[in-house]
Chain A
Amino acid sequence: MADVLAKLSDIVGLVSQLEAEDTTDVVPMAHPLDQTQKLRSDQITETDEHQLYQKNAPLVEKDLYLVPKVIE
């Protein structure tokens, strides 16, 4: 982990170069092309395949995914 952290300040140094650029009135670009969201018709298209999916699950009991206790 020390190795990971050591290089981070170099990376931050690299990206800090951005601060100098004047971006007044520039609209941030979240998507490279000017598209808008297509809407999906409200229909049930999926069937139950949980047995297939749960083959990959590390720990399952009674079809539930088990995790260390969640405290509320």
Chain B
Amino acid sequence: MEKEINKKTLTQLAKGLRQGQFSSEELTQYYLERIDLFNGKINAFITVTREEAIQQARAADKALAAGKSGPLTGVPIAHKDIFCTRGIKTSCGSKMLDNFISPYDATVVKRLKDAGAIMVGKTNMDEFAMGSSNETSFYGPVHNPWDHDRVPGGSSGGSAAAVASKLVSAATGTDTGGSIRQPAAFSGVTGVKPTYGRVSRYGMVAFASSLDQAGTLTQTAEDAALLLESMAGFDRRDSTSLNEPVPAYYDAIHEPWQNLTIGVPDNFFDEGLDPDNAQAVKDALKIFEKLGAKIKDVHLDHLDLSVPVYYVVAPAEASSNLSRFDGVRFGHRSKNVKNLNEFYMQTRGEGFGAEVKRRILTGTYVLSAGYYDAYYLQAQKVRKLISNEFMRIFSEVDLLAGPTTPTPAFKIGQKTDNPVEMYLNDIYTIGAPLAGLPALSVPCGLVQGLPVGLQLIATHLDETRLLKAAHYFQKETDWHLHIPPGYDERER
């Protein structure tokens, strides 16, 4: 297809469709062909919904012709396989749900469908969103399009890789401790996690309920703004959903630049951070200075405690959330069991992978009598301290900035033997979900040919400022336009 589709952002595709530059069916076929061509190498998709996508595309073309289109009509996107999609397999990257066809659509799925988006498939992910490398999936690891021997990040690795390799223009993801931002950084795309409660969790299979948020993996912040406008908003089916109006993000980020103060935590820049990665981030900050922002050093006293807090709270909630997977009403069920006890143990033993089991055990442990106070309760208290600290800092700065990850993507298999080492990689991204803050990652450089990301964090419900800063950064830079070698159309 000579129209250089793979160079177009979601925003441009939506416009192009409305202007009749191409049809939704053409676009959809284009992406489906790329998926056929490349998915074998990167394993970004668990399910490709070919027939449904073509049908939806045809309907979209009719709507476009009739002038009855929405903001996303005809644009092909993918959903992380953690979102329930009616009539379509929803696996959460797990054997436990390998045979599960969801009878309902998640609110996020429904809203994007109502806005006109076409779903081409469900993307691969760490099992039940537990992981930072997309290596724990029952369906095999996802390979980073930038280097197939490396991880794309996780748990939304499939979504990040699919967008990076232009198998789809955008994808949904979920972020609990960094699962959108970290894969965005590793894969060279833009990943946005909104304020807790901004986007409905109904239909998004729960990992850690007080941390989970649905968000986007896209090429640009502008694309993210467009998607979020349709995704966000109060949902009465989700008690934790915020009853706040959704700003017109897309228009808002195009408003004139307003100066702001950006705080940079000095303790992000410690020995753990790869020097080239650090440099890329520092260079990125200079762009903001050029735009007129004031850069200010801040210090996060509780940074080191954020990882332990997360690895108490998240597994605790997850251990309970995953109890419903018992083979009674849906999902994997073990055969040849002699009694009820065996039924539970074997079904869950067979259905869950090692990392999920580790987290369930950890979670059960920290909630158990005798340990609850020392671990769970204490973690929730430290969480309050972490949150208070962020609130104090946001009274002095408008945004926080820093690296998204300590290094670029590591090799597949490199960290699987050492879970704690893997966990410590989340150090920069874990704070925002603990405090419920919105945060994003944008590509800000290449280190030895691998993307690295700049993270921005804002205060509650300040997505507009967050997205706008990222958008203006992307107007000044072109990191987000880089395509992984081998994925540029002309090289097919």
B380 adjacent to A18 (CB under 8 Å): no
The CA-CA distance from A58 to B385 in the complex, in Å, is 46
A23 adjacent to B385 (CB under 8 Å): yes
CB-defined contacts of A23 to chain B, threshold 8 Å = 378, 381-382, 385
A18 adjacent to B361 (CB under 8 Å): no
B312 adjacent to A18 (CB under 8 Å): yes
Let me know if B55 is at the binding interface, CB within 8 A.
no
14 new A-B contacts, CB < 8 A, other than A33-B436, A57-B328, A70-B340, are: A7-B419, A11-B362, A18-B308, A27-B384, A29-B380, A29-B383, A29-B387, A30-B210, A38-B243, A56-B101, A56-B330, A56-B331, A58-B328, A58-B331
Partner of A67, one of B304, B307, B328: B328
Closest to A32 in B: B436
The CA-CA distance from A33 to B436 in the complex, in Å, is 7
Interface SS majority for chain B: helix
Hey, what's the 0/1 contact readout for B318-334 against A, CB within 8 Å counting as 1? 00000000011111010
A58 adjacent to B327 (CB under 8 Å): yes
Chain B proximity of A20: nearest CB distance (Å):
9
The CA-CA distance from A31 to B195 in the complex, in Å, is 12
CB-defined contacts of B312 to chain A, threshold 8 Å = 15, 18
- Knowing A4-B357, A18-B312, say if A56 contacts B362 (CB, 8 Å): no
- Knowing A31-B210, A32-B435, say if A68 contacts B307 (CB, 8 Å): no
Let me know if B393 is at the binding interface, CB within 8 A.
no
Q: How many residues of B contact A (CB 8 A)?
A: 62
Closest to A57 in B: B329
Let me know if A62 is at the binding interface, CB within 8 A.
no
A33 adjacent to B242 (CB under 8 Å): yes
Chain A proximity of B254: nearest CB distance (Å):
28
B333 adjacent to A21 (CB under 8 Å): no
The CA-CA distance from A28 to B407 in the complex, in Å, is 33
CB-defined contacts of B211 to chain A, threshold 8 Å = 32
Closest to B333 in A: A58
A18 adjacent to B357 (CB under 8 Å): no
B460 adjacent to A53 (CB under 8 Å): no
Closest to B437 in A: A32
Let me know if A47 is at the binding interface, CB within 8 A.
no
CB-defined contacts of B242 to chain A, threshold 8 Å = 33, 35
Closest to B349 in A: A1
Q: How many residues of A contact B (CB 8 A)?
A: 44
Let me know if A52 is at the binding interface, CB within 8 A.
yes
B362 adjacent to A8 (CB under 8 Å): yes
Hey, what's the 0/1 contact readout for B214-250 against A, CB within 8 Å counting as 1? 0000000000000000000000100110110000000
B384 adjacent to A26 (CB under 8 Å): yes
Please provide the chain B residues from 347 to 389 with a CB less than 8 Å away from any CB of chain A in the complex: 349, 354, 357-358, 361-362, 365-366, 374-375, 377-385, 387
- Knowing A4-B358, A4-B361, A15-B312, say if A28 contacts B340 (CB, 8 Å): no
Let me know if A19 is at the binding interface, CB within 8 A.
yes
A32 adjacent to B210 (CB under 8 Å): yes
CB-defined contacts of A18 to chain B, threshold 8 Å = 305, 308-309, 312, 374-375, 378-379, 382
Hey, what's the 0/1 contact readout for A22-58 against B, CB within 8 Å counting as 1? 0100111111110101101000000001001101111
The CA-CA distance from A37 to B327 in the complex, in Å, is 32
Chain A proximity of B420: nearest CB distance (Å):
5
Hey, what's the 0/1 contact readout for B103-138 against A, CB within 8 Å counting as 1? 100000000000000000000000000000000000
Let me know if B339 is at the binding interface, CB within 8 A.
yes
Chain A proximity of B114: nearest CB distance (Å):
20
Partner of B311, one of A11, A29, A31, A71: A11
The CA-CA distance from A4 to B187 in the complex, in Å, is 29
- 8 A-B residue pairs with Cβ-Cβ distance under 8 Å, sorted by A, are A1-B349, A4-B358, A5-B361, A8-B365, A11-B362, A26-B385, A28-B380, A68-B338
- Knowing A18-B305, A32-B436, A33-B197, say if A27 contacts B381 (CB, 8 Å): yes
Let me know if A61 is at the binding interface, CB within 8 A.
no
The CA-CA distance from A57 to B418 in the complex, in Å, is 37
- Knowing A8-B361, A19-B374, A65-B329, say if A31 contacts B240 (CB, 8 Å): yes
B100 adjacent to A56 (CB under 8 Å): yes
A19 adjacent to B340 (CB under 8 Å): no
Closest to B342 in A: A68
